[in-house]
Structure 1
Amino acid sequence: MATVTLSASEFQERVGEALDRALSQPVLITKHGRPRNVVLSYDEYERLRARDRLAVRAEELTDEDIAALEASEMARGYEHLNAELKAK
């Protein structure tokens, strides 16, 4: 998916066109030649939000978290990967 790039002043002059374009491709808005904002369609925004994940550092895991990880197994159909969970 190609990205359309507009300066902030171009965006202000052509906001309607930029919003229409954002329905099919991201619109990158620059200020002083540097990327500043991106306009996306709502559908694309929701698709990206659905992919959000929470990352934590290993040292932040509780004993319960670690026990749950140690007891975990691969989903049905991927049982052959359980060996990957075993300590070497």
Structure 2
Amino acid sequence: MQKRAMIIYNPAAGKNKFRKLLPDAERILTEADLEVTLVPSTPKQKSTTEIARHAAESGYDIVIAAGGDGTVNEVVNGLMQVEKRPKLGILP
């Protein structure tokens, strides 16, 4: 079974530098034989904490927080709400 990674990113962080960075991150992870899901954290969606918790509950192997310290904090808080936690990655 192919391992899965979710990148939770804040599109407002870093003055939109993620538009250049995310395709490279996705390509590198895909080349490492991971199934990659990109999820933006926006005010209109669930909170970043809920997205991270749902990723863990859904069996993702890796959850990557892409953004500033607020994004990382919310992802960590979401992962701490479940017993079986995926690996955490940080893409500043």
Common fold, TM-score beyond 0.5?
A: no
More helix by share: 1
Structure of greater Rg: 1
More strand by share: 2
TM-score (ref. length: structure 2): 0.30
